[in-house]
Chain A
Amino acid sequence: MNFEWQLALRLLREGRAQTALIAAGIGLGVAVVVFLTALINGLQANLIARTLGSQAHITLTAPDRTVIPAQLPGPLEFQSVQPRPQRVAPILNSALLLRQLAAEPEITAISPLVSGAAFALRGTADKSVAVIGVDPEAYTRIIPLQTQLVAGEWRLGSEEAVIGRRLADELGIQTGDRLTLQSAGGRSLNVTVRGIFELGVKDPDRRWVLLSLRSAQNLLNLAGEITGIDLTVRDLFTADPVAARLQQQHDITAESWMTSNQQLMTGLRSQSASSSVIRFFVLVSVAFGIASVLAVAVVQKQRDIGILRAMGMPRRAVLRVFLIQGGVLGLFGALAGSVAGAGLARLFAGLVRNTQGDPLFPIALTPELFLSAIAVAVFTGLLAAALPASRAAALDPVKAIRNS
């Protein structure tokens, strides 16, 4: 073993009570960081998963129709501008657009759809519904509805539908039952309900009626057209800039899940910010702990440092000995803290449960979390050791030996 490493470890072992105390202190700090991060990450991942369980990362629609002022002679002043009513509009040149989107490296799934309002009629009951015509295979890559079925199967042939659980309950429908859909344009379609899904989100569960693309196009009188394209992107947090770019490049309106869930995003950001502040102060206290212990060690060991310098140990080597001690303290503390943090997280998951006895949300104990906690603790250790180490390296051997 390299002499500097050996000396650093020997010095830590020599002051083992001090070493154990500071390692425990670092461990406690790292445990708090690991636990808090796992908790917040798990909570946020759960919230995002729930949100995106019924939503695409980006939705493309035809651009809104805007008012174009009339070209009249003479000076004109508009006192008010009445916005135009927005009807369901198809996306122009959709086939070309779909090909261009398929070539985008950030986009991982594309699902064309046609949607519009309709009434669902069964016996004397009628409900206002959102008809969504999709390619069943492409759509499941956006929203995995096939995993959310509570009855029947994910099948969308001609005159077949999959509907939400609440809608089924309100209309008294079971799989295999028939349902009549009537569009605002007066067209109607009789479908057989093949599956019933439950996303746990009110609007889809109560209003969505999924049809095949062709059936919906016929019902909504949009033969061969699509009114929207759902997309997923590789990194869901890049949805905003990707949407902005797509809107700029094509004649479409692009809305990301981040824009349509502003409140959620504000909540997530606030949560992340408060968690970062807590982690920062924990790390600062860890750094002060390491720095103070090593500063004391430098004073206690100044005779040894003086002797080593007299025997020809370079200043840089002395510096490294104390930096190694800082890094090793950080590493040991981080290992102990990771184990303790994981234990705390598991204890939390075991104790805090919903009324069904399931954990409220999964705790995100990932290898990346542990690796980053260890890396941050080691870096903090090195940083905290820098000042005491440079003081040790700067010691004058004559004074160090004389003063001791």
Chain B
Amino acid sequence: MRHPRRTIFAFALILLSFVFAFAIRGARSTQTDAVSDEACLDCHESQVHAMVGTAHDPAAGRFVSCLGCHAGAATDRHLDDPDENPAVNPAHMRADSVTAVCATCHEHPHTLNLYERDPHADADLSCTACHRVHDNTHLGLLKDEQKTLCFSCHPSAQGDFAMPSHHPVMEGVVVCSDCHLSVAQSSKQRVYTGPGGTCTTCHAMFEGPYPYEHQAAVDYSTEEGGCLNCHAAHGSAQPRLLKQSYQSPDFALCSQCHVVPKHQNNVNHGSSWAGMPCNDCHVDVHGSYDNAKLLDPSLAAQGCTAVGCHQF
């Protein structure tokens, strides 16, 4: 029996409200006003202008105080004996603890991704692995330009983007977060599943739905895989980011899934079809508006559907 989607969504909202209602009673505060910013800056003079120009600047006088990030159990005693009672430093905290601190203000999906099954969180990397709040003028408070920052831990990607066919990350046209922020868990909300939804952020013409689908190209198909079945997203030695060779006689890219005996060397065709690319006939490889075999609609005019021949 099909469940109306609105019922599921309504259930989710009820669940959210339920949790919210209990939370108001049970949650603890994460901030304290026991110590003023001036008291902190009396000793930490070098930090007076450390966040100028950013929303974290206490001088902005809105939301953020030193204790917004650096509060801990020993905060009250820190002023009396700083060495014995060090203040909390997010740079030395566990990843999930840092996420908890940042998430007290930053409730958007990117922050919450770190709570879920996220490779960075699994490697104990939190917001501070990529962002630096103090003394930073980079956009988004990133520690460095995106590709430099990401390549420092992911050097293999640098080789991928040097491949003959690649997304133009090195050229600065695309940045890592164009794909990798949306492919994180937050994307599950906006699309049905994984990477394919990221691809269609820019390549929307392949998004579907197509009346006749190529199941391998559909992310929510039980054949699984989507775009990554055929394309290597970073870079490839093959044109058009194709993972495998698309050359005669085997056309490996298609042969990884399709084995059609006597398909190209059929006696009725003579040798004229031998070695022809699959998409010479099956033009709509991403999906068709015309027929289930993804064939070129003009084939009928060429006599392919004549009596005794193919009935597509």
Interaction A to B: no
